Structure 1
Amino acid sequence: MRLLFTVLFAMLLMSAARAAPALAPQAIEIPLASGALHAQLYKPDGDGPFPTVIALHGCGGLGGHSDPVLPRYRDWTEQLLKAGNAVLWPDSYGSRELGPQCRVKDVHVKARRERVADIAAARSWLMKQPWVARDRVSLIGWANGASALLWAVRPQNAGRDGAPDFRAAIAFYPDCRISAGLGWSTRVPTLLLIGGKDDISSPPACRQMVDGAYGRSALARIVVYPGAYHDFDRANLPLHAPASSPDVATPDRGHLGTDTEARADSQKQVAEWLAR
C-alpha cells in the first residue's frame, strides 16, 4: 500500500510539473532618445540585489505572435535564473514595429548603431533599479545580438555616467568579419562561443579577431566547437539548411542545428564566465 501511495504521489508531482505555467516576464518600457525600448524582465524571487544579464536576441527577433520571448530564449533565461541572475531582454525590433530582420536587405536597425544604443539604454535603466547589483551587470547575445555586443564592449563605447561598467560579456556565434578588420578590442572580459562548421558566421574571422586583441585588450577568449553549426545551443533543432524554408526569421544561407555536446558545454562555460 505504501509503495502504491509513493508511486501515485510521484505521478502527481510529475503531472503538476508538466502543468506548471510557463515563466512569465514583466513588460518594461525603457526611455530612448526617441520613443521607448520595450523589454521583458525576469527576476528571481526576493528583493535582491541580483546580478543581472542584458540578453540580446538574434535577427529573428525576441518573440512571436503569442509569446513575448521565444522558447529558445526562455530556455537560456531559466538557466540564468537558476544561477540567481535577473535577465532583461530588450526588444530591438518590436520596439520599432519591425518583424524578423534575417532576410531583410535594407536593414534599418544596425548592430553597431541602434542595437548599441539599446544596450546603453538598458544599462542606464538597470543602474537606477534598487534590486540590481550594479557592479554585476553582464551582457549575453546571440548572432546579430552578439555582433551588437562586440560593438558595445569596445573601449570607445564605454559609458560616461560614472556607474560600474559591464562585468562580463558572452557572444554566441557573432559575425566577426567587420570587427576583425577594424582591430577589435574589448574593455570587458569577453567570451565568444562558436561552432567550427558555422557557415553563417565566420569562425576564422572570430579567431582572428580574438587573437588580434591579445595584449591590448581586456581578457578575450574564444571556444570553437569543431563539429557544431550555427544555433548549436538551441534545444531539439535538427540540422538543416534554412534557405529553402519560407521562415523569414531564419538566415537565408548556411546551416542550423543542435549539437548536444556543445550545447551542454556552452551552458557550463556561461555559468563559469558569469560567476567570475
Structure 2
Amino acid sequence: MELGLKDKVILITGGSKGIGRAIAKVFKEEGARVAIAARGIEALEHTKQQLELDAVYSADLTNEKERAEMFSTFLNDFGKIDILVNNAGGSNGAGTMETDLELFHEAMELNYFSAVQLSKLAAEEMKKNQSSGSIVNISSIFGRESGGKVTYNNAKAAMISFTKSFADEVIKDGIRVNGIAPGSILHPTGNWQKRIEENPEKINRFVEEQIPAGRFGTTEEVANAVVFLASEKASWIVGATLNVDGGQSKSNF
C-alpha cells in the first residue's frame, strides 16, 4: 500500500533501539525524512548509520529544558514537522509502598510529560504551517489494565487519556493524534530477552498462558501499525489507541 509518506519530516523519540528503531526503519523505507532523539549519542549514531537516517539528537528526555532545546534544533534543521512519534519510555521502581516518590516523578517525565510537551510544540508548528499533521503516542496495554510496574502503568494510562483529549482539541486544525498500545514485544535490547535468558521455561509458560497468538510480538509489527496510523490512509482515525498485542490484553476497550 502506498502510504504517501515520501519526503514527510518525522521525529521519533526513543528511536535508537527497540520499537523506536523499527519505527524509524519503516518510515525511512517509505521515503520519509527521519530524525530520532534519545539520550545515548553512540547508539544514536550507530542507528543513523545503519538505517541511513537524516539526523539524530542527543537529549535527556526526562528534562523539560533539554526536550525544548532538542525540538528547537530539529526545527532549525528541517524547517517543519509532519509527524511526531512519542516513543520514549521505560519502567522503574517496584510496588507502590516500595517505590520512592521521586521515581514516580521520573516515570511521568519520561513516559508522559515528554509526550505532552513535544506534542504541544509539534502541534504549534503544524498549525503555523497550516498543514495537516499526525502525532502517534506509544503507550502500552498496561495503560488500560493492571500490569507492569506501578509507575509505568500510571504514566501509560495518563498517555492514553491525553491522546484522546488532545486529539479532540486539535483535529479542527487538521492534526490527528492517535496511539499504539503494544503488548509483550521481543527484541534484543528489551526486558523480555533478558527474562528469556534468565528463565526460558517460565517465559514459555507465560507466552502459552497469556498471549493467545502463542508468541511475542515483533518491533516490526508495532512499527507497521504506527506508520499506517500516521499516514493519510488512517484519515478518519482520531483519538484512538490501538492494541498491537496478539490478543494479550484482557480489556474489552
TM-score scaled by structure 2? 0.47
**Which protein is richer in helix relative to its size?**
2
Higher relative contact order by CA 8 Å / sep ≥ 6: 1 or 2? 2
Q: Which has the larger radius of gyration?
A: 1
Q: When the two structures are superposed, what TM-score results if normalisation uses the length of structure 1?
A: 0.44
